[in-house]
Amino acid sequence: MNKKIYIKTWGCQMNIYDSSKIINILEKNNYSITKIDLKADILILNTCSIRDKSHEKVFHQLGRWKKIKKKKKNVIICIGGCVASQEGEDIFKRVNYVDIIFGPQNIHDLPYMIDKFLKVKKKIIKINFGKIKKFDYYSKKKNLKTTALISIMEGCNKYCTFCIVPYTRGFEISRPCDDIIREINFFAKNGVKEIILLGQNVNSYNGKKNNGGICNFSSLLYLISKINNIKRIRFLTSHPIEFKDDIIEAYQDIPKLVNFLHLPVQSGSNKILELMQRIYSIEEYKNILKKLISVRPNIQISSDFIVGFPGETENDFEDTMKLIKEVNFDASFSFIYSPRPGTPASEFRDNISFKEKKKRLYRLQKRINKQTIFWSNKMVGSIQKILVEGISKKNFFELSGRTENNRIVNFIGNKDIIGKIIYVKITSINPNSLKGIII
Ligand code: SAH
Ligand code: F3S
């Protein structure tokens, strides 16, 4: 009988991508997906460990699933993702009703692990790094959304002192270039118009080509830009140290690269950047943006910030605030520093109170929100190129699309333009979306 899988995903886009691969792999092995956990034969949790809170959420969820396991003794509980990788066997000790633990690079082993568990009824764990096979499983679905995520590399070699990713996802491995192009061609043939390239450091992409050559990140961008039906290219995440001139040139040459860049800076203080081992200075960061703006004058920038890193003085924080104003960031992912076990920074002396950290985060986010509104206001009256994504979630009579700088625009239009790039004039702004009219 066809077994039913329920999967819950937390964390970054990478995890969302991994979950879609888990689904591809299991569907290929005759499992089917259910949206109701009570109906599932197999419960999968794809976890995130980037901050303490995301990590702990996993155990709360497992607490809820305990009730299901009590009612349905045969349900199999699997833990994947970065918490699986970080905690390994310890999860079995902490939660004795977990059956399978698999790491981010063992997704392809899952059908085999489930089969083995069913046969021998013994807990199974696989969290090794190695050759990544998950990329070999393509979706066969023909009816795709307008946007598709595609992972181009896995892991990270940077070892920023605060970050757990290099320990949970392993070394950087680039996916072969021809594989990526083949998958994007498949997407393009099946309705995808926009792709988001994923990796911890997409800029250090260095994939093998079938002809024996090597393809770097900018070359990959040029190759993708030649695929006709793909109208927009985005990528996540970049590390400033590898944001070299060839990528700036790509911005000059490839109109399909959106006028928006997420370039994490983390802090505006050189002292803190050094403690974080980010290996660039604020001057270098600003220099990248200067070059980028010289080829894309209207580009908008977003960033990640960590507030309250050990040793961050009031002056260091003011440097961050200064940078935020100067660059006029459009958006941010900003969080209070969370010590992660096994990382160097978790042993640094931290004498800032949590109350002070919260105060700083509040100030930072308030400032960025103000800037987001500034950028949105600036768009009123302008003509924007949007990708029409579908019917508006709020109003059935309206369509919804996305601008290059990630704003949702709602407008009246005919359904046959879904999936197309069109031009709209922005008429007003709401807190989470814009209104427009087709021109
Ligand atoms: N590869 C990306 C970031 C990956 S992690 C880069 O080059 O920046 C995503 C974000 O989570 C980071 O940019 C950072 O801002 C945040 N983060 C990572 N570890 C953290 C920690 N220990 N505490 C708080 N935020 C953290
Ligand atoms: Fe983490 Fe730094 Fe890599 S933030 S993912 S170690 S670039």
> What pLDDT does 36 receive?
95
Please indicate whether residue 163, judged by its CB atom, sits closer than 6 Å to ligand 2: yes
Mean residue pLDDT of the chain comes to: 94
Is the pTM higher than 0.85? The answer reads yes
Distance separating alpha carbons of residues 77 and 414, to the nearest angstrom: 45
**In CATH, 4-126 is 3.40.50.300:** no
- What span, in angstroms and rounded, lies between the C-alpha atoms of 198 and 219? 16
Could you tell me which of 423, 431, 391 has the C-alpha nearest to residue 410? 391
What are the binding residues? 12, 48, 82, 156, 160, 163
Task: Report the nearest-CA residue for atom 7 of ligand 2.
Answer: 158
Q: Which ligand lies nearest the alpha carbon of 168?
A: 2
Above 90 in pLDDT, residue 100?
yes
Looking at domain 144-377, its CATH architecture is Alpha-Beta Horseshoe (3.80)
Closest residue CA from atom 7 of ligand 1: 239
Quick one: fold of 380-438?
OB fold (Dihydrolipoamide Acetyltransferase, E2P) (2.40.50)
Q: What is the pLDDT of residue 431?
A: 84
Q: Is 101 in the pocket of ligand 2 (CB under 6 A)?
A: no
pLDDT digits (tens, 9 = 90+) for 112-130: 999 999 999 999 999 988 6
- Using the atom order of ligand 2, give the atom closest to the CA of residue 200: 5
pLDDT tens digits for range 296-313: 999 999 999 999 999 999
Domain residue extents for the chain: 4-126, 144-377, 380-438
Q: Whose CA is nearest to atom 18 of ligand 1?
A: 163
What are 225-266's pLDDT values in tens digits? 999 999 999 999 999 999 999 999 999 999 999 999 999 999
Residue showing tokens 């790039």: 421
For the segment 134-160, what is each residue's pLDDT rounded down to a tens digit?
666 666 666 678 999 999 999 999 999
The 3-class SS string of 248-317 reads HHHHHHCCCECCEEECCCECCCHHHHHHHCCCCCHHHHHHHHHHHHHHCCCCEEEEEEEECCCCCCHHHH
